[in-house]
Amino acid sequence: MFLDRDGVINRAVIRDGIPRPPASLADLEILPSVPEALSALRAHGYSLVVVSNQPDVARGTCSREVVDSINQRLKQQLQLDAILTCFHDNADRCECRKPKPGLLLQAAHQFDIDLPLSFMVGDRQCDLEAGKRAGCRTFFVDCGYPDEPRGASDFRVASLMQATEIILVHSSLP
C-alpha cells in the first residue's frame, strides 16, 4: 500500500488556493480515521509505505529538519513501514520525484512488494501517474482541490478510510 502524505495521511494546508505541506509540527494534523484505516490494512497484511514529494526543501522555503520531524511524528503515531521522501524540485529531473515511479520502485525492492498487487492512494495527478507507471492500481482521494487530476484513477474516494473499505471488501480485486 503506497500512500501520499499531505492530503491522504495528514491535512494539507491551503495557501493561496494551493494545497501545501504543513510548515511545522504545530501545523501537522492527521486526518480523521487514518489510524483506523492503517490498522485495518496492516491487519490484512499490507505493507504501508508513504511516498512523498517535498520540493519546498529544494526551493529553500522549508528545511529538511522540519520535513524529517513531521515524518518522524507520523511514524511514531501511525503504523507505517516507511516514509520515502523526494526533496527535489522539477528542475532536478530526479527519478524519485512523482510522477516518476522511483520511490515506489525503491520501496518494492526494499520490502519485496509485488507492484501489480499494490495500490497507490493519492490526492494529486502526480501520485496517480507514479502509481500507474509502477504498475499499481490507484485511488484518487478527492479533497476538492481546484486542479483536479486529469488522468483516470481506478477508484475515486473521499478518504483513505473509504479506499480501505473498498480494498478490504473486495480483497480479491483482480
Q: 168 to each of 2, 23, 38, 162, how far by Cα in Å? A: 15, 34, 12, 10
Please state, in angstroms and rounded to a whole number, the distance separating the CA atoms of residues 67 and 73. 10
Domain count, the chain: 1
Q: Per the residue annotation, which of 6, 56, 123, 127 is the catalytic one?
A: 6
Is 114 one of the catalytic residues? Answer: no
Contact 48, 32 (CB under 8 A): no
Position 173 pLDDT exceeds 60: no
- Is residue 57's pLDDT more than 80? yes
Q: Domain of 148?
A: 2-169
In a domain, 25, yes or no: yes
Q: pLDDT tens-digit profile of 79-100?
A: 899 999 999 998 999 999 999 9
Instruction: Judge whether 92 lies within some domain.
Output: yes
Q: Is residue 174 part of a domain?
A: no
Q: How far apart are CA 97 and CA 12, in angstroms?
A: 18
Tell me the pLDDT tens digit for each residue of 6-53: 999 999 998 887 889 999 999 999 999 999 999 999 999 999 999 999
Q: Which of these is catalytic: 4, 56, 123, 127?
A: 4
Known active-site residue 4: yes
What is residue 172's predicted lDDT score, i.e. its pLDDT? 56
Report if pTM > 0.85.
yes
- Residue 146 pLDDT more than 80? no
Residue 61 lies in a domain: yes
Instruction: Calculate the CA 144 to chain-centre distance.
Output: 17
pLDDT of 159 strictly over 60: yes
Domain containing residue 162: CATH number: 3.40.50.1000
Question: Which amino acid is located at 155 in the chain?
Answer: F
